[in-house]
Copies of this chain bind each other. A is one copy, B any other.
Amino acid sequence: MAAKMLRPVSLARVVINDPFWNSWLQVNRGQVLMHEYRMLKETGRIDQYRLDWKPGQPNPPHIFWDSDVAKWIEAASYSLATHPNRELDRLLDEVIGLLGSAQQPDGYLNPHYTVVEPGKRWTNLKDCHEMYCAGHLIEAGAAHFNATGKRALLEIACRLADHIDATFGPGKRAGYCGHEEIELALVMLYEATGEGRYLKLSEYFINERGKRPHMFDEEACARGEEPKDHWAGGDYRYFQAHVPVREQTEAVGHAVRAMYLYSGMADVGRQTGDESLLAACRTLWRDVVGRKMYVTGGVGSSHQGETFTRAYDLPNESAYAETCAAIGLVFFAHRMLQIDADGRYADVMERALYNGVLSGLSLDGKKFFYVNPLASSGGHHRQEWFGCACCPPNVARILASLGQYVYSTSEQALYVHLYVGGQVRMEVGGQAVTLRQEGNYPWQGRVRFTLDLAQPGKFDLMLRIPGWCRRYAIKVNGQAAACRVQKGYARIGRRWRSGDVVEVSLRMPIERVAAHPHVEQDAGKVALQRGPIVYCLEQCDHKVDVRSIRLPDKAGLEARLQKRLLGGAMVIEGVARLQGWESKGSLYQSAGRAPGQPAKIRAIPYCLWDNRKGGAMAVWLPRA
């Protein structure tokens, strides 16, 4: 790892105590984890590891059930890392025991290919998610070990990884998974174990991807099938396997897969220092965030294949913007942030986290969005579960691991990426430092840091000045500090002493945000954003149809903290204008024909919509 790179401060060192996040994290630990366990149990996903399914019986273990269980284990492990809980610990051990009992003598572990299609292991890497499932299990194993120190699942993961390593690679079988995931997982396993083979295997999968003759064609032929007749035959952009990864310049195909691949590429690049890989990551990053990302941080605009489409194609009501894809973007952003120490990555990480990720979970922790549109006619609602249940445990694991996204350290600096209240203990420049963060972010822009050091020490405190912030002020021990902002961070270098207080004040006006002119679907519209929070109008706050509301450029808007609303939220209120419509039954009329009436509006944070009475919703508001 290059010395100039950042290292995230690990989860166990970060205590979150934050007026915004506390309730989300409590709900995640208290409600979400147990709700998901029940769903996993009820749907047979846990009991599949008993390997007692017989042909002819209903509900056979599905090819990607393992990933749901593994992500839940990972989430529960993160929860244990910060909030020990004997009952959850015991439940985890039980599930891990069951899972281990399903591992085959050679290390292979996958109930579907053990009981439903025995003998067909690794015959269809393109479509059957075997390594994807293995990857999630590996992440879970590393997370469980990191959190608890227990080695049971880590060893299961290592045996599975060893089996894969013995099967695939130079001089062995050529192959890689159609659904990326194992690449980043193997780097995590390498970091947990120090075993270099895992990093090498990840690098192999990444380097092999997209080579010709194409492995997906070859395995189809080996099955006696015509590659072209097979699903997506010949067009491997869907899998980001159309060309080798270093030749990929545009984000294409299935968005979650893309995010996981790019994250894995960043991981391998970070560990190996491979600049060609990192250069590809940066190019792909620019394409994603500069041409294909919703203002909410959602990515992958099309329902058809859950894919990226052409640049600047960001339909609102038919947006796909899968919760998992926004989570994947956080992963990718977080990795690039460590590599380049550039606040632009943190800006995107924050945008996705506070908007397109959080929208995935209901306030009561019982329902989930898989699809996150930016407009609705009223028919889109969260659900308790999904047949393809990737999103619920993905939300659980990112919330349970939030702490690891907040801070990083470098040789001589402590970076604050996110304004999340609590306390962190870490070493900077050989010095143990405790930093307390207090504020009411994202509703207010004032955040206060208090330092605690065993003895005075010199290092840089790097405070992120978010991209959305145009005016800010920093005080050190009550005195205005002039700091240089470089790559999105204000550098405060000094000899720190216990009791030093740093206050940052980020001006947080209501912004009308415009999209790039090439985004045809947002042209003529603005979105309301305040701080990192993107707002929307929800029908239940309005007497008039929210789809008829037009926002005059000069309409006065005010932010008001509503303590009783949606668990306490800053809303934006003002008077907009209705688009008049006199031609009943007609789709078109002269624009000037019916002057609109004024209409009171209230905008709520996008992430909180659909927690009350179902109805229409709009993020982008046409200008009056």
**Beta-carbon contact of A587 and B519 below 8 Å:** yes
**Beta-carbon contact of B591 and A514 below 8 Å:** yes
- Contact A545/B517 with A289-B587, A377-B312, A587-B289 known, Cβ cut-off 8 Å: yes
| A548 lies within 8 A of chain B by Cβ | yes
Interface residues of A in 452-487 (CB under 8 A from B): 470
| A307 lies within 8 A of chain B by Cβ | no
Question: Which B residues touch A597, using CB under 8 A?
Answer: none
Q: Kindly report how many copies of this chain are found in the complex they form together.
A: 2
Q: Which of under 10, 10 to 19, 20 to 34, or 35 or more describes the interface residues of A?
A: 35 or more
**Beta-carbon contact of A290 and B586 below 8 Å:** yes
| A57 lies within 8 A of chain B by Cβ | no
- Contact A523/B293 with A317-B313, A590-B514 known, Cβ cut-off 8 Å: no
Most buried by B among A312, A516, A587: A587
Interface residues of A in 539-594 (CB under 8 A from B): 545, 547-548, 550, 553, 579, 581, 585-592
**Beta-carbon contact of A512 and B592 below 8 Å:** yes
Question: Which B residues touch A95, using CB under 8 A?
Answer: none
Contact with B along A607-624 (1 / 0, CB 8 A): 000000000001011110
Contact with B along A522-542 (1 / 0, CB 8 A): 011111000000000000000
Question: Which B residues touch A592, using CB under 8 A?
Answer: 512, 553
Closest CB in chain B relative to A541 CB, distance in Å: 17
| A450 lies within 8 A of chain B by Cβ | no
| A120 lies within 8 A of chain B by Cβ | no
A623 to B526, CA, bound (A): 12
Q: Which among B313, B519, B523 is the interface contact of A524 at CB below 8 angstroms?
A: B523
13 A-B residue contacts at CB 8 Å? A312-B377, A315-B318, A512-B592, A513-B590, A513-B591, A514-B591, A516-B587, A517-B547, A518-B548, A524-B525, A524-B621, A527-B588, A553-B591
The 10 closest A-B pairs by CB, nearest first: A524-B524, A524-B622, A523-B622, A517-B548, A514-B591, A512-B591, A517-B579, A524-B525, A290-B585, A526-B591
Measured CB to CB, the residues of A under 8 A from B are: 286, 289-291, 293, 295, 304, 310, 312-313, 315-318, 375, 377, 470, 511-521, 523-527, 545, 547-548, 550, 553, 579, 581, 585-592, 618, 620-623
